[in-house]
Amino acid sequence: MAFDIDRYTATSVGVDWSDLDLEVFRDEPLPASSLRTLRYMADVEYHTVCYTRDLLTTPSHREADVSAFMTMWNREEFWHGEALAAVLAVHGITVDYDQLKASRLKLGWKDRLDPIKQSVLGGLVGQDFVAVHMSWGAANEWSAITAYQRMAELEEHPVLAELLRRIAKQEARHVAFYTSQARERLAASTKAQKVTRFALSRFWAPVGSSISTEDDVRHVMTHLMSGPDGRRAARKVDDSISGMPGLDGLTIVQDALDRLGVS
């Protein structure tokens, strides 16, 4: 079924947590390891604006549906960051824009060069770059949904679980868009399949890897994806990715866990 972009833009809203009693965390605080994972998630959500900035230099921005989606996607991801930051704040952990700006500045030339690299790659690949963008987005959003679901399962905290379910529900709409676009574009172009397969197999890494330390990435992946249940969740994401045209057999999430030493 084709994704209805008009309906999506008309119904896009920020995730609502006003009815959730976050004060319960004062009596039932989350453990330090979980707070570290939540902080990582919040940072990723807040950095969506940088990903959007980079992609606006590529052929993707000339696609009306893609531009409309990215506008709403960026807005919804921002509110995901706000929701997670609210939970962290009750625990005495403040996430603000000064800290985010500082973390971006630490990236130095890498942050400044990313838009240029995306622009050059987009120019070299041409219109088929949009298929790469959509497939990469699908992989990231499938991973995000899985991460939120795993966090809810592991914590078994009713308030946190409900908040994460609400965030995951919005992420599911993001997956629907990316997947619909990716399938159509991959099916229409053998070149798109080859370029996308190459990009994902060689360069994909867990969401947040580009803005976090390897130690933080390893912590989050171990927290959420280790053990039989975690690996099962990782395989499910890989199965979804490899089910798209020309991407059969890809195991990018499990490969990333292997590289990080997560078992």
Closest CA to 83 of 16, 173, 152: 16
Q: pLDDT for 59-109, tens place per residue?
A: 666 788 988 888 899 899 999 999 999 999 999 998 865 555 455 445 444
Query: How much is the pLDDT for 128?
Result: 82
| Alpha-carbon gap, residue 190 to 56, rounded angstroms | 25
Residue range 110-131, pLDDT digits in tens: 444 344 355 445 454 557 888 9
Q: Is the pTM of this model over 0.85?
A: yes
Q: Pull the structure tokens for residue 68.
A: 């409309």
Over residues 42-54, the pLDDT tens digits come to 999 988 766 665 6
In contact, 195 and 128? CB cutoff 8 Å = yes
Higher-pLDDT residue of 253, 130: 253
Does residue 150 surpass a pLDDT of 90? yes
